[in-house]
């Protein structure tokens, strides 16, 4: 599960469940460089190599327009 985290540090976080949602990992910080909290509509997929790819929109500092961002990450239990 990936989601926008709009408290300091603002960014994108994820949690992982290995038991169909009965329990969840501690938060995993994907990014923590957000400035406005205007971000969201995340989508995360698992690539064939086992890494995760998360994509979301975000309004960056100094820009009036939203931009598409992405991060590739790996969960290590």
Question: Tokens 């205007």 map to which residue?
Answer: 38
Question: Quick one: which of 27, 32, 76, 71 has its CA closest to 52?
Answer: 71
pLDDT-based confidence at residue 73 (cuts at 50, 70, 90): very high
Whether 12 contacts 30, CB under 8 Å: yes
pTM given for the model = 0.88
Alpha-carbon distance of 43 to 39, in angstroms, equals: 12
Is the model's pLDDT at 77 over the cut of 80? no
Strand partners, 70: 55
pLDDT digits (tens, 9 = 90+) for 35-49: 888 999 999 999 999
Residue 74's alpha-carbon distances to 7, 26, 60, in angstroms, are 23, 14, 24
Report pLDDT digits (tens) over 8-24.
Answer: 999 999 999 999 999 99
């Amino acid at each position: 599960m990936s989601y926008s985290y709009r408290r300091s540090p603002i960014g994108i976080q994820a949690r992982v469940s290995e038991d169909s949602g009965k329990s969840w990992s501690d938060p995993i910080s994907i990014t923590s460089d957000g400035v406005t909290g205007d971000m969201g509509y995340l989508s995360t997929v698992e690539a064939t190599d086992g890494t995760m790819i998360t994509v979301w929109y975000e309004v960056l500092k100094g820009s009036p327009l939203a931009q598409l961002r992405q991060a590739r990450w790996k969960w290590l239990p």
